[in-house]
Amino acid sequence: MHILVTGGAGFIGSHLVENHIKKGDKVHVVDDLSSGSIENILPFMKNNQLIFDNEDILKWPGLDKAVAWSDRIYHMAAVVGVFKVLEDQIKVLSVNISATEKLLQAAYNGKCNPQIVLASSSEVYGHGLHCKRFFDNRADFKMDKDDINERRKYTIEEFKEDMEPMVGSSAVSRWNYSISKLADETFGLSFARMYNMHVIVIRLFNTIGPRQTGRYGMVVPRFVKQAVSGSTLTVFGDGLQMRSFCDVRDTIGALDLLANNPESKGQIVNVGNSREITIKELAEMVKERAGSDSQIEYVPYDKAYGDYFEETYRRRPNLEKLYRLTNFKHQWTLEDTLDDLISRAQDGKLMKA
């Protein structure tokens, strides 16, 4: 197969590249390296099955040719990470939306019909609160069992693809990313309906694993780095926000299965892991598995992210559609992934010593 990966030098993109190179496919990567790293794909660049273009997809003159060449396209290129989203709110909207439209238009203009796997995000589900006013009026949560149960009562237990999004006010800059991804989904599904194009929208839930960086706000690599170095683990907020983490190697397996199934065409599918954990519990787990004596510090959101930030308190996927469309099974537990990341970080620390 001929595989095009936009954003292919990024965290998830580079794992897609690795997977298809191992299968013997020819892979074309385009990435402007604004958040990805050439080191993520260096091991595969010696392989004549890989083509790399260091280009901005919005300006890349080779897009039409690359799209026409492709049997499958993974569109991963986007501005991601809470810090980057808050840092350049206009770029999030312009890059994420325009790049998707340009890619889809290239496929339509070229009269080719590759499988297009369009990466979206669990962020499109929004704040996920049954009663947002309850949280607005309570700023004094304490970390005890009753409190977490109260939060569970007021938050949606799991997110299903046919739910209506509950994105917060456009005055809050963190929702720019959600809005951009909703626009991407709408573009993708509209092209699928109007032109019978093979588009699959994937809503990714907190993907973690090797090559992920913590510098843009991703919590797991930050905790691992802090624990291994003996630094203080910084938990943003009170730590009671709940997340469900999925290993990237499971994620790419699910994407491959979905792309290979014709019934996935024109569908929105959640991809993640339904196991739930609070960020406080995650910090404690990382400390324990790293054998670290690091302290845990709770940093208020306004100090971590600045003003005009809203948190999502829960982010757990309903995976019924994924299981219905594929025979997908998770291979990695959260403990497995953390042990792998901690081991890699410790090896890196020893090599630098």
Which stretch of 271-285, 289-303, 308-322 has the lowest confidence by average pLDDT?
308-322
50 occurs within a structural domain: no
Give the pLDDT of residue 350. Answer: 44
Burial category of 161 from C-beta neighbours within 10 Å (exposed 0-12, middle 13-18, buried 19 and up): middle
Two tokens, residue 272: 């993640």
Amino acid at 27: V
5 occurs within a structural domain: no
305 occurs within a structural domain: yes
Cα(235)–Cα(290) distance, integer angstroms: 17
Stretch 210-238: mean pLDDT: 91
Give the pLDDT of residue 304. Answer: 63
Q: Which residue has the higher pLDDT, 228 or 300?
A: 228
Looking at residue 312, which CATH number applies to its domain? 3.40.50.720
Spatial neighbors of 21 by CB under 8 A, at least 6 apart, are 27, 44, 47, 49, 50
Stretch 331-344: mean pLDDT: 97
Asked if 40 and 9 count as a contact pair (C-beta separation under 8 A), the reply is: yes
Stretch 87-107: mean pLDDT: 83
Stretch 323-329: mean pLDDT: 96
Average pLDDT over the chain reads: 87
Which stretch of 37-46, 128-137, 218-227, 240-249 has the lowest confidence by average pLDDT?
128-137
Stretch 323-327: mean pLDDT: 96
Spatial neighbors of 260 by CB under 8 A, at least 6 apart, are none
Query: Tens of pLDDT along 150-184?
Result: 777 778 889 999 988 776 655 555 677 888 889 99
Give the pLDDT of residue 352. Answer: 45
* CA–CA distances in Å: residue 113 to residues 22, 26, 104, 107: 24, 18, 10, 7
Residue showing tokens 């019934």: 263
Indicate left, alpha or beta for 2 from its phi (over 0: left) and psi (-120 to 50: alpha).
beta
Q: Is the pLDDT of residue 88 over 80?
A: no
Which stretch of 22-26, 210-214, 247-251 has the lowest confidence by average pLDDT?
210-214
Q: Is the pLDDT of residue 328 over 80?
A: yes
Asked if 117 and 254 count as a contact pair (C-beta separation under 8 A), the reply is: no
Cα(308)–Cα(169) distance, integer angstroms: 10
Chain centre distance of CA 233: 22
324 occurs within a structural domain: yes
Q: Which residue has the higher pLDDT, 350 or 341?
A: 341
Stretch 203-230: mean pLDDT: 92
b vs e for 270-306, b when ≥16 Cβ sit within 10 Å of the residue's Cβ? bbbbeebebbbebbbbbbebbebebebebeeeeebbe
Stretch 23-34: mean pLDDT: 95
Cα(312)–Cα(165) distance, integer angstroms: 13
Query: Containing domain of residue 277, as a range?
Result: 78-352
322 occurs within a structural domain: yes
55 occurs within a structural domain: no
Q: What backbone phi and psi angles, to 5 degrees, belong to 265?
A: -55, 130
247, β-bridge pairs: 208
239 occurs within a structural domain: yes
135 occurs within a structural domain: yes
As for how many domains the chain has, the answer is 1
In the structure, what pLDDT confidence band is assigned to residue 353 with cuts at 50, 70 and 90? very low
Give the pLDDT of residue 177. Answer: 80
